[in-house]
Chain A
Amino acid sequence: MERLKTLIGPRKDKVEFITGLVTLLLSDRELYSDEVLFRDAVEEIYQTLRSEVLEKRRTGLADAYETAVLLRATISGKPLEPENLLREVGRKLREAG
């Protein structure tokens, strides 16, 4: 029966999950001080918001998504110098154009 319930039950809101996840990350810093686990959670938050905003067109989440992009970038360890990013933007604009 439990299987049936999960099959027919409504697909839950993923946003509710990441909202809870954010609270968890903030309240349990010790456990999430593990870099891999923390980055994984941030990736989950980022991916969820990205798909909600881009695929499901939930524009109300755009601000949260933008902040998640920044969060993901700051922990990515990639170089974030403005000039490099600007070049990258230019390259991507040309590709898209």
Chain B
Amino acid sequence: MLIKEVLTSVEVIQDPYIKAVTYAKIGERLARARERHYKEAFLRAMETAKDIEDPTKMFKALLSIGYSMTKAGIKASKRIYQGVLEDSKALPAPHRDVVMESAATYMLSLGEIGEAITYALEISNPKLRNEVLLAAMRANTKKLGKEGIKVAYHLRRSKLALEYIDSEPYRSMGMMELIKAYISLGSYENGISLISAIEDRDWARQAFKEVAFYLKEKEVLAQYIDTLEQVANSLIDRFGEGFVREMAFAFALSGEGLPAVELVRKLKNSGDVLAKLALELLERDHDVLPSLVAALDEDEAALVGKVVMNRVLERPELGSREVVEAIGRSTRNEEVWAKIARYYIIMGEVDGAARIASLLHERRLRSVVMADIAHHLLKRNEIERAIDAALEVRDSKFSSILVSEILLKALERELDGKVITWNDSRR
């Protein structure tokens, strides 16, 4: 009884578009619940739609009804769509484009990618057409990733859509979708080689990163690193030397330090670029910094180590044990080691700092570090250990100041509580 009441009550809706769509939605729900009144609901929907004066709105209403019918499992919906495709040809281009876009969108949400492409191709505005084709490609990649069946068929559809995309950046974005499709099917070589065909610089870089990360996640990056290096080189040939840094960063970010360093070495100012690269990684994702540092040679490591440690000492929160240890391993440069010791002292790890100090051969550096350690111990009131450390300081200027401070501190402790300060309010 209620169903009939609901159906008659739809009449009160004034807007014919909303009325028609509402009838269709009611029809869909009834059909799914196997209620016989669904036919009546759809009939009313169709009748109401035909009364809509604005033709664009009328076609959109018909599409919406068709969508509800498909969801309800009614085959007749195909006829409605066919009708809209033909009859809308009378509309001026911009209006028809809106209708065709809407048809394509409905088809995508029904998973009918091929149909969506058909409607997309009817769109006369190239930008809109390319956008819709791209959306179809994206939906297709997702389907492919999820279902993994009828692979060749799905791939063909993506290629077909891409063929019709005729301007940038849509073509480049479309290429990315095709690459993803190949990659998700495990066809890595095909996917990787397609990266070189991307015309747009930014998208080529993004595709490169995506692929590198995908392969890393699948734990096969090492096997394909040579192929990726070839691709990186071909992109650099095309986009110029400025692209070296970007490709190197992509490798470094995916944890592949060696190819990153090898790329940068081609540049004249490779040292500067490596230092900048390292600083950027330190700032952003220092988990991957150790792999870059490990790939450096002695000279590079000393330069990069200095720059990175200076930044870490300025902002210790950027540092981490992994980064600092990696730098320490990469170079025998004692200046860098002294900076590492300083970092350990800031972090309160005196033993770590002392271990490094014991390895230092250069007198001045050793004195600086030992003085630093002695200072820190004094602050922590560990006077005996401070004296031991101070004895290691050979540099007379440092040691004089230190001994003076140690003596005063020792005296203070002895006299603790007995010293009365002038102006002390407790006096």
A binding-site residues for B, Cβ under 8 Å: 2-3, 6-7, 12, 14, 16-17, 20-21, 24, 27-28, 30-31, 34, 36-37, 39-41, 43
Contact = CB atoms under 8 A, between A and B. Distances in A.
B214 A40 contact: no
B238 A2 contact: yes
A34 B217 contact: yes
B164 interface: no
Given A17-B169, A20-B169, 15 more contacts: A6-B238, A12-B168, A12-B201, A17-B203, A21-B206, A27-B138, A31-B213, A36-B254, A36-B287, A36-B288, A37-B253, A39-B285, A40-B253, A40-B284, A43-B284
A24 to B, nearest CB: 8
- By DSSP majority rule, is chain B's interface helix, strand, loop, or mixed? helix
B202 interface: yes
Given A17-B203, A36-B288, A3 B238 contact: yes
Contacts of A36: 213, 253-254, 285, 287-288
A30 B201 CA distance: 24
B210 A37 contact: yes
B71 interface: no
19 contacts: A3-B237, A6-B239, A12-B168, A12-B169, A17-B169, A17-B202, A17-B203, A24-B173, A27-B138, A34-B213, A36-B213, A36-B285, A36-B288, A37-B253, A39-B284, A39-B285, A40-B253, A40-B285, A41-B206
A37 B213 contact: yes
B200 interface: yes
Interface string B259-286: 0000000000000000000000000110
Contacts of A30: 145
B199 to A, nearest CB: 8
Nearest to B141: A28
A27 B142 CA distance: 9
A28 B141 CA distance: 10
A26 to B, nearest CB: 11
Contacts of B176: 24
Contacts, number: 54
Contacts of A39: 284-285
A6 B168 CA distance: 13
A27 to B, nearest CB: 6
Contacts of B238: 2-3, 6
Name which of A16, A27, A31, A41 has the most chain B CB atoms within 10 A of its CB: A31
A39 B138 CA distance: 22
Contacts of B138: 27-28
Nearest to A36: B285
A14 B210 contact: no
Given A12-B200, A36-B253, A40-B253, A31 B210 contact: yes
Contacts of B145: 30
A12 B204 CA distance: 14
Name which of B176, B202, B237 has the most chain A CB atoms within 10 A of its CB: B202
B57 interface: no
- Nearest first, the 3 A-B pairs at minimum CB distance are A17-B202, A37-B213, A34-B213
Interface string B128-152: 0000000000100000010000000
B376 interface: no
B394 interface: no
Interface in B111-168: 138, 145, 168
Nearest to A7: B240
B209 interface: yes
Name which of A14, A24, A41, A43 has the most chain B CB atoms within 10 A of its CB: A24
A16 B206 contact: no
